[in-house]
Chain A
Amino acid sequence: MESEHAAAAPGPGTPAAPGPGAAPGSGPASRGAAAGQLLRRSARWETGLVVVVIAIVVFGASTSSEFLTGSNFFNIGLGSGEIAIMALPMTLIIISGEIDLSVASTMGMSSALLGVLWSTGWPMLAIFAVLLLLGAAAGLLNGLLVTRVGLPSLAVTIGTLALFRGIALIIIGSNTVSDFPAAYTNMGVEPIPHTQLSYSAGIFIVLAIIFGVALHGTPFGRSIFAMGANQDAALFAGIRVKRIKTLLFVISGVVCAMAGALLTFRLDTAVQNNGLGLELDVVAIALLAGVSIFGGKGSIIGVVLAVLAFAGLQNALLLTNFNQEATGIVIGGLLLASVFVPNVMSFSARARESLGRRSRATAAVSRSGP
């Protein structure tokens, strides 16, 4: 029990120390080698995903002649657009060392409010403004509880998962609103003119570019990686960890509120359980994308590929008349593979290294944690 406070002190996402084995005597040269290895490994991850996506396309095309048609491409984008959109801020949050399980509830809350405000005659533009504010407020609550109160994001967002879904229930009760104007609900049946993209897929592409540039091309993005890799070091390097994490949660809230509106229009229905349970799909996509659950690792390219794999696989299984509800088996299998494959790779790397330095072999193997 005495060591309880020692465990409580470092933040929730504190990554495992880089392992005592690597530390002694490692100069800048070996650090550079480590960075190179990291780069190679993440590059390999995305290559692996490309292979998976190609395999899924081949599988889909060989089992159904409908798979490679334009209208099916539209269906794929339509079916997974909102989940894909929510996976983008989730990726940033997980890279920063936190998690947001409240995404689907924020979505549901936004959907419920949209329905109620519309049925009481609000103009649509005003409703959009309110929804974005709602999303920002939801994200701010998560962010402040995590950064200012210092609570683990896993627990906080399980709490707000229930809270936000509860608020959705309070807002809309057991009612169903479904008389949205055709101009909006057409999003659910028609692609963007002159393309085969659903509106949600189009928004995902735009957002993916914005998030990709922000994450990989700006100091803001670098600081997200830094705080995920080592929160204390990031703090000492002058990165405003708390402010950035709060901002990430706010962004997540806003994006999820937007996804809620998209889902509502696609289904032409606002009910309290819109988006129920989608948080796990969103997390699954992020993990499949190679984002480390401990923070500090991941890429937007990976997320785009993971979305393609996720959406393509679900669609292919649907076309093969596989029980659609049971596609979770395959998604879960992919998820397991995504954690075991890199583990096997690092295990074999460790084994090779220890063979090289036979004198230190036993120490290296016994020390190297996951």
Chain B
Amino acid sequence: MSTTVAERRDSSPPPPDAGSRRLTERVFRVRESGILAVLLVFVAATTAIQPRFLDTQNIQFVLINTTVFALLALGETMVVVSRNVDLSIGSVLGLSAFLSARLFSQVHGIPIPVVFAVGLAIGLVCGVANGLMVSLGRVPSLVVTLATLYIIRGIDILIVGGNEVVAQSLPASFANIPQDTVLGVPYLAIVIAVIVAIGAYYLRSFRSGRELYAIGSNPDAARLAGIPVGKRIFTAFAVSGALAGLAGVLWAAQYQTIDSTAGTGYELLVVSAVVVGGVAIFGGSGTAIGAAIGALLLSTIQSALNVLGIAPFWDQAIAGFLLLLAITLDRAISLRLLAALRLRSSRRGI
């Protein structure tokens, strides 16, 4: 995750204009720093009790566990920022994981990049379907993606049946992807960090990325301002689907035994990670970096409980509690921000 920190530092010089923007940007940084602080405190406390927590092996384990989540969280961030939600990602992940992993036994000696491309394409098709229905059909994304959650999982079940892909059918070079390291850092984690950084840069600095925030803040105003709302939302869903497809291939490499339940329930975990990471559930604010840190925090908690010997039963309760805490704090901060902005504009006599 070193890349993420560097990227954050890059973004710190505030734009020279409007003081209010500086203020908002500072507050948004507070959100991310807040979640980062929680993460650090958590790591420090856990390490104090059980030094084994900062073992290279354990850190690698946490990072690998985060990769799938971080990819899904990036796509979900793009969608949520535009005031939509994609609930189908767990099903997309499952479908892509099975179909791509099965390729190894169907086509002997198939190159691994081709498998990744196939996974990506499967996800892209699902994402395009979601995007078309939401943007052209103008129907609520919650309903559409809830429906495709069922449909894609159903297709997955019809294809998989009672079968599963077993570890023996996967080539070692594929199964080792999560284990390979560069200077002790899993190289998969580096790749994912770079992808997240690119996504974050796109959302922060590209016109079409900024337009997603505008749409999420006020869809009607965005439309009146000439932003191609449908097109942008379509793109967000397509990207989210494609990333979920990619995450499916990684999931297959990581777990190696794939049946028709792969990725069940991931959609809500990922939405949790995204919201814990400071992305407002009703759009308009939040960053991809924040969402990635949210994903990292959730998998760190899982691992910490494990290392501390606390029964894994506590995972979920703590994750849920943290989510509630995060959104409550977020609400408090944004209320304060609102008050500060009002005060500022009244002083200026606007």
Contacts and interface: CB of A to CB of B under 8 A. Distances in A.
Interface of A: 1-9, 12, 16, 101, 145, 149-152, 154-156, 158-167, 169-170, 173-174, 272, 276-277, 280, 283-284, 287, 293-294, 323, 325-333, 335-336, 338-340, 343, 369-370
B146 interface: yes
A324 B71 CA distance: 31
Given A145-B324, A170-B317, A1 B24 contact: yes
Contact of A156 (B213, B214, B324): B324
B151 A332 contact: yes
A151 B320 contact: no
* A-B CB proximity, top 8 nearest: A166-B317, A163-B320, A162-B320, A332-B150, A329-B154, A166-B316, A370-B138, A328-B150
A155 B146 contact: no
B173 interface: no
B65 interface: no
Contact of B323 (A158, A294, A329): A158
B317 A167 contact: yes
Contacts of B341: 5
B328 interface: yes
A272 B311 CA distance: 14
Nearest to B264: A277
A169 B324 contact: no
B218 A6 contact: yes
B323 A328 contact: no
A59 B338 CA distance: 57
Contacts of B319: 162, 166
A159 B337 contact: no
Interface string B146-177: 11111101110110010000000000000000
Interface in B262-292: 264-265, 268, 271-272, 275, 280-285
Contact of B158 (A161, A174, A294, A329): A329
Main secondary structure on A side of the interface with B: helix
Contacts of A162: 268, 272, 316-317, 319-320, 323
B315 interface: yes
Contacts of B271: 158
Nearest to A166: B317
Contacts of B324: 145, 156, 159-160, 163
Contacts of A277: 264-265
Among A3, A4, A164, which residue has the most Cβ atoms of chain B within 10 A?
Answer: A4
A4 B217 CA distance: 6
Contact of A339 (B83, B137, B281): B137
A332 B154 contact: yes
Contacts, number: 194
Contacts of B231: none
Contacts of A165: 316-317, 320
A247 B158 CA distance: 42
Contacts of A154: 85, 142, 281
Contacts of B133: 336, 340
A160 B311 CA distance: 20
A166 B315 contact: yes
A293 B313 contact: no
Contact of B328 (A6, A145, A170, A369): A145
Interface in B88-139: 133, 137-139
Given A7-B217, A335-B147, A336-B133, A161 B334 contact: no
A330 B21 CA distance: 49
B11 interface: no
Given A162-B320, A326-B158, 4 more contacts: A145-B324, A158-B323, A163-B323, A280-B87
B143 interface: yes
Contacts of B283: 7
Given A145-B328, A151-B328, A335-B147, A169 B323 contact: no
A369 B138 contact: yes
Interface string B227-271: 000000000000000000000000000000000100011001001
A340 B338 contact: no
Contacts of A323: 157-158, 161
Nearest to A284: B146
Nearest to A99: B142
A12 B334 CA distance: 15
B161 A280 contact: no
Given A6-B217, A162-B320, A339-B137, A1 B157 contact: no
B150 A169 contact: no
A16 B139 CA distance: 13
B20 A2 contact: yes
Contacts of B200: none
B147 A336 contact: yes
